[in-house]
Structure 1
C-alpha cells in the first residue's frame, strides 16, 4: 500500500505501547490507528540501535494475541544508499481472526473455569469525556488499571481475561457501541503492554445494553450523574 494513501485514510492515532529503554532491552513504539473504514489497525516502530525487523514482528504478535498479524505496509530504516539490505523498522498491520463479536474477538474460556477476580472501572475515571485512546486516559484510571494488573499477576492458572466496555444510554446506540468497543480495545492493549498474555485477553463492547443504574428519564445534569455507574469497563478473570 502506498504510504501516502495509508496515512490519508487514518482518522486518529494514539500511542498504545511504549517499549523499554535501550539500556534495559529493546525499544519500540506502537500505535492504535482508527482507519476511515472503521477497521482498527496498528503501527509499530522499532527504531532503536539494538532492534531488528524481528522486534517489530514480535511486538505485533503480542498486540494481536490469538489473532494473526496481517501486515499492511513495511517501511525500511534509513540507511546509506550503498546498503541494499532490507530491514523494515516500521510496520502497519491489522489483527485478523476467523470470527468477530461486536468488533472484537471473544473466545469462550476453557470448560470448568470459574471467575477468580473481577474489576469494575468507572469510565469517567479512565477516559476523558467521549474519548477512548490511550493518550486520553486519566492518571487515576491508569493507576486503577496498574493495581488490577498486579492483582491479576498474582493468580496462577488464568485461562481467560474478558474486558468489556459499557456506556450509559445517552447518545445513539451506534455511537455508544463504537465507544464501548474502542475503550475495551484500549484497555486490552494496556493490559498486554503491561505484561499480561495477549492470547488470554479478549475485548468486547456492549454499548448501553447492560445498565446497572436505576435513573429517571431525561438528560439533566442530575440524571447524567445518576448514570455514572453505567459508564464502565469491566475485567473478569477466569481460571
Structure 2
C-alpha cells in the first residue's frame, strides 16, 4: 500500500420406568377353608380345630386368595402390554448417515493433487512471457514488468500490489489525478516525513529512497499533465541486494499511461 506521503498525494437422557412386575403385591396362598367334622350332628357346625380362629367366617380366606390372584394377573397383563407397546431401543434414534461412495467424495490426496496442478486465472491486464510477468493497468494505462514468480496480491481501481514467493521485495504501482504537484514539491514532502538517503528529480519525474523500521523503500513518480504515476519497492534491509538488483533491472519497464 502507498506510504504516508504517497497516500496524501494519491488522495487516499429420561428417568428409569419402575418395573410393574416388581411393584406388584406378591401372590398369597389362599387360606384353607375350615374342615367340618363328619361326626357332627346334622344342623350343627363342627367344632373349631385347635389353632383356628373361631370368629372367622367360613369362605373368607378363599375370597382373599381370589382377589390376590386377580391382582397378580392384572399386573402381569399390564406389564406385558407396557413392554409390547413401548418403543424398543434405538427405535426412534436418527438413522446413521449413509457413507459416501468413492464416486461422491474425493480423497484428500486427489484434492491436493488437483489444487497443486490447477493454474490460476491471470488477472486483467497481466501477461506472462519469456519468464517475466507484464502488466498494463486497465484504468490508467501505466505499465510495468517483473520476474515471473511475481503475482498480484492486491488489486484496486487505482493500482496493484505484486509479491513474490521467492523474494521479500513487494512492488506497488498506482495512479491518481494530478492536483498541482511537481517533482520538486513531491520531494519536499518526502524530506519533511522521512530520513531520505537518496533523492533525484527531472522535469517530469522524481525518486526518493530511505530506511525505516528495518525496511528499505524506493519510490518513483512520473508527473504528467493530468496524473501522477507512482512505483514503489519495499524490502527488508537484510534483502537490500535483492531489492537493489530488481530495481536496477526492472525500473526501466515502468511507463506512465497515455492520456
The TM-score, its normalising length taken from structure 2, stands at 0.17
Work out which structure has the larger RCO, using CA pairs closer than 8 Å and 6 or more positions apart in sequence: 1
Bigger CA radius of gyration: 2
The TM-score, its normalising length taken from structure 1, stands at 0.18
